[in-house]
Amino acid sequence: MNLEIIFKAQTELDTILMKKVIKQNEKNFEIKRGVALLVELGEFANEVKAFKYWKKHKEMNRDKVLEEFADGIHFLTSISLSKQVKSDIKIISKYDDFSLQLSYVYKLFTNLLTKCTKNNVKKAYGAYLGLGLLVNIGYNEIITSYLNKNKINYERIENNY
What are 127-158's pLDDT values in tens digits? 999 999 999 999 999 999 999 999 999 998 88
Whether residue 39 is predicted with pLDDT greater than 80 in this model: the reply is yes
**pLDDT computed for residue 87 by the predictor:** 94
Q: E strands of the chain, at which residues?
A: none
**pLDDT tens digits along 44-80:** 999 999 999 999 888 999 999 999 999 999 999 999 9
Q: Say which DSSP state 87 is in.
A: S
Q: Which fold has domain 4-158?
A: all-alpha NTP pyrophosphatase fold (1.10.4010)
Length of the chain: 161
Angle (CA) 110-111-115 rounded to 5° is 140
Give domain limits for the chain.
Answer: 4-158
Alpha carbon 115 to its chain's center: 18
Dist. CA 32–CA 135, nearest whole Å: 28
